[in-house]
Amino acid sequence: MSGADCVVATLEKEGVDTIFAYPGGASMPMHQSLTRAKNLRTVLPRHEQGGVFMAEGYARSTGKVGVCMSTSGPGATNLITGIADAYMDSVPLVAITGQVKKDMIGKGAFQETDVFGITLPIVKHSYLVIDPREIPQIIKEALLIARSSRPGPVVIDIPKDVQQSLFKPFFPHTTGLESKLSPPPIDITALETVLDWIGKAKRPVLYVGGGIISSGAHLELFKFAEKTSIPVTTTLMGIGSFPENHYLSLKWLGMHGSVYSNFAVDQSDLVLALGVRFDDRVTGKVEAFAQKARIVHIDIDNSELNKNKRVDLAILGDVKEALSLLNKMIEEREWKSPGYVLWHEEILAWKLKFPFRYKKIDDLILPQMVIEEIYKLTQGEAIITTGVGQHQMWAGQFYNFHHPRTFLTSGGLGAMGFGYPAALGAKIAHPQSTVIDIDGDGSFLMNIQELATAVTENIPVKAVILNNQHLGMVVQWEDRFYDSNRAHTFLGLPHNKNALYPDFPQICKGFGIKAERISKPQELVPALKRMLSSDEPYVLDVIVPYTEHVLPMIPAGMTVKDIIIDND
C-alpha cells in the first residue's frame, strides 16, 4: 500500500466520513487515493480557508473531529486562520498538509513552508511524518488528541515521497494514549464545599461556557440548575448549553450580553464558573468582575485555572463528571435549595426593565428585526452560523437558542469569513436541519467563492446578509471613541455612495444561486418564507442602515458600571 492509500484507509477505519480538501502538487497522491475511497466523501472548497471553516462547522455542529487537507506552502498557510480559530474555541480538528519531499525540506523548495513550525503556538499537537509506516498510528493519535480532554486542532504534515512510498501497513487497535488523555478524577471534598457554599449563598449565578457543550454536559447542567434554582448565564461559546426560553436563563453576558446577566454577576455572592476561561470580552476590567462573589471554577484544562481571574476554589476535571456527581450528591443527601426568592425577584425586575430592545424606524429594515423574524419562522430550531461583527452579536441577542451546537460562531479569534463555509460544513453533517448563515456584507465577501461549493456539492444552505455597506462594528467604535471619523470602513463605491455595491444578487446569479435583495419592512417576512421554503442554496440580501449600534455595550477594559444601555 502507498502512504497516500494508507492515509485514506486509516481515516476510513477511524470513522471519518467527510474531508474538506483542496489539491496541489504536494498533496496529489492523497487526492488520487481519495478518488478510490468507499466511505469517505471529499468536499472540494474553493479556498483552503473555506475548507478549514467547513471542517469547523462540521465539528462544532456534531462534536466529531473535522478533517481538512491542503497542499504545501500557500495551501497550508491558507489553513492557519482556521487552525487558530479552532484552537481559540476548542474545536476538534485535524489538518493534513502535503509537504515537499524529505530531502528538500529546509532548502527553500517550490511551495515549501515550515507549517509544522508556523502552527506550533496554535495546535494541541503536530506531526511531521518521516516514516510512512507510522501513518496509521499518527492519524489514530491525531484524531484522539483532537477530541480528547479540551478539544483542539492537530496538524499532520506529510512529505510527498512519504505519500508515494510502498509498504505493508499495520493498523493499531489502540494508541497507548487513551489513559494518559483521560481527565483526572474530581475532588469530592471540593464538591462538598461547593454544595456548602450554595446553601449559604443569597445571590448565586451559574456562569457557563463552551466547556459544557464540548463535554456534552447540557442535560446535567439543566438538572443541576433546576435542582438548585440558580440562574444561568452563558458565554458566547456557551450559547445553547441552557435553553434561553427557560425562566432561569439570563442569556449571555459580557460586552454585548444582556444587562440583567451582567448586573446579576456583578451583584452575586457566589459565581459557579463551569467550562469558561474568563476572557476579556466577558470580564471587562478583570479585577472588578464579580467582586462581591466567591468564585468556583471547574475546568478540564489546568492552565485555565487562576490564569485570568484568581478564584476561591479551583477544581480540575471534566465538567460533565462534576455536574453528574453534584446531582447525585443532591439526591442522595436530600439537599434542599434555599430557593433564592428575593434574588429571582430582583433579576426579574432587571429583565423587565432592561430587555434586548431597539427602536423601529419607518420604511427601514433594522437588523434586529431580521433576527427576530428568523427566530419566529424557525421557532428556534435552526442551526445558525455567523460571520463576525454586529450581525454576530445581534444573532446572539435576538435569536433564542434551545439546544447545544446550534449557534456556530468564531468567538475567541473573531474571524470574518467564518459564517458561510461553516454553514456548509454544518449542513453536510445535518442534511435534514435548516442551516442559516446570518452574515454581514464584509464577512460574507471574505469567502464568497464558497457559493461555488454550495452549488457543485448541492448543499442547500441559506444565507441572510445584513448589508449596511460598512464594517459595522468598527463603525460603531468610530462613533463611540473616534468622533465618527471614518477610517476605511465604508465598503461601497466612494464616488457613488447611493449605489448598493457589490451587487450580491448579481454575483449569486453568476454562481447559479437563487438570490434576492429587499429593503422595505413589508418585504421581509415574505422573502424569508421564500428562502426557507427553497430546497436549493439561497441568499437573501437585506439592506439595513449603518447607523445602528449593538447595545448594550460595556466598553473594552471597563466595568458593568460603565455599561451603555441606550443611544439616548
Rounded CA-CA distance 346/359 in Å is 26
pLDDT at residue 334, as a whole number: 86
**For residue 53, which of 66, 39, 72 has the smallest C-alpha distance?**
66
Query: Which backbone phi and psi does 402 adopt, to 5 degrees?
Result: -110, -15
Cis peptide before 185 (omega within 30 of 0): no
Nearest-5° Cα angle at 75, 69 to 79: 65
Instruction: Determine, yes or no, domain membership for 180.
Output: no
Is residue 287 annotated as part of the catalytic site, yes or no? Answer: no
Do 120 and 195 lie in one domain? The reply is no
**For residue 554, which of 293, 358, 261, 304 has the smallest C-alpha distance?**
261
Q: CA dist 211 to 150, 250, 271, 308, 318, Å?
A: 8, 18, 16, 16, 9
Instruction: Determine, yes or no, domain membership for 562.
Output: no
Q: CA dist 469 to 365, 389, 420, 515, Å?
A: 14, 13, 18, 18
Do 153 and 228 lie in one domain? The reply is no
Is residue 48 annotated as part of the catalytic site, yes or no? Answer: yes
Rounded CA-CA distance 265/285 in Å is 14
pLDDT at residue 154, as a whole number: 98
Cis peptide before 151 (omega within 30 of 0): no
Residues contacting 20, CB < 8 A, separation 6+: 43, 45, 51, 52, 54, 55, 58, 66, 67, 68, 69, 425
pLDDT at residue 498, as a whole number: 84
**Bridge-based pairing state of the strands 66-70 and 125-128:** unpaired
pLDDT at residue 497, as a whole number: 83
Number of Cα atoms under 13 Å in the Cβ half of residue 391: 35
Rounded CA-CA distance 284/277 in Å is 13
Instruction: Determine, yes or no, domain membership for 15.
Output: yes
Do 40 and 76 lie in one domain? The reply is yes
Instruction: Identify the domain boundary among 311, 327, 353.
Output: 353
Rounded CA-CA distance 472/468 in Å is 7
Instruction: Determine, yes or no, domain membership for 300.
Output: yes
Is residue 444 annotated as part of the catalytic site, yes or no? Answer: no
Of 54, 237, 446, 473, which is the active-site residue? Answer: 473
Do 400 and 546 lie in one domain? The reply is yes
Please give the average pLDDT of every successive group of 10 residues along the chain, which has 568 residues. Answer: 98 98 98 97 98 98 98 98 98 98 94 96 98 98 97 98 97 93 94 96 98 98 98 98 98 97 98 97 95 97 96 98 97 90 98 96 97 97 98 98 98 98 98 98 98 98 98 97 96 90 97 98 98 98 97 95 88
Of 20, 30, 48, 397, which is the active-site residue? Answer: 48
Is residue 473 annotated as part of the catalytic site, yes or no? Answer: yes
Looking at this protein, which amino acid is placed at residue 40?
Answer: L
Cis peptide before 502 (omega within 30 of 0): yes
- Residue 296, domain CATH: 3.40.50.1220
65: DSSP letter:
P
Instruction: Determine, yes or no, domain membership for 566.
Output: no
* Domain region containing 346: 188-353
Residue keyed to cell 479552532: 86
Do 386 and 328 lie in one domain? The reply is no
Which helix (H) or strand (E) covers residue 424, if one does?
helix 419-429
Tallying the residues shown for the chain, one arrives at 568
Whether residue 360 contacts residue 366, with contact meaning beta carbons closer than 8 Å, is answered with yes
Q: Where are the alpha helices (DSSP H) in 447-557?
A: 451-456, 472-481, 504-511, 521-533
Do 154 and 227 lie in one domain? The reply is no
Of 140, 160, 309, 320, which is the active-site residue? Answer: 160
Rounded CA-CA distance 347/325 in Å is 28
pLDDT at residue 568, as a whole number: 65
Residue 251 corresponds to which cell in the numbers above? 442569556
pLDDT at residue 123, as a whole number: 98
Of 101, 104, 111, 226, which is the active-site residue? Answer: 111
pLDDT at residue 335, as a whole number: 86
Rounded CA-CA distance 461/433 in Å is 10
Do 209 and 345 lie in one domain? The reply is yes
Instruction: Determine, yes or no, domain membership for 563.
Output: no
Instruction: Identify the domain boundary among 353, 380, 400.
Output: 353
Do 327 and 216 lie in one domain? The reply is yes
Do 218 and 241 lie in one domain? The reply is yes
Burial of 176 (0-12, 13-18, 19+ CB in 10 A): exposed
- Residue 437, domain CATH: 3.40.50.970
The count of domains in the chain is 3
Do 379 and 446 lie in one domain? The reply is yes
Of 13, 110, 200, 202, which is the active-site residue? Answer: 110
Instruction: Identify the domain boundary among 164, 196, 226.
Output: 164
Do 323 and 371 lie in one domain? The reply is no
Is residue 446 annotated as part of the catalytic site, yes or no? Answer: no
Do 470 and 397 lie in one domain? The reply is yes
Instruction: Determine, yes or no, domain membership for 362.
Output: no
Distance, C-alpha 229 to centroid of its chain:
28
Whether residue 55 contacts residue 83, with contact meaning beta carbons closer than 8 Å, is answered with no
Rounded CA-CA distance 312/389 in Å is 35
Residues forming beta bridges with residue 274, ordered by sequence position: 208, 298
184: DSSP letter:
P
Instruction: Determine, yes or no, domain membership for 342.
Output: yes
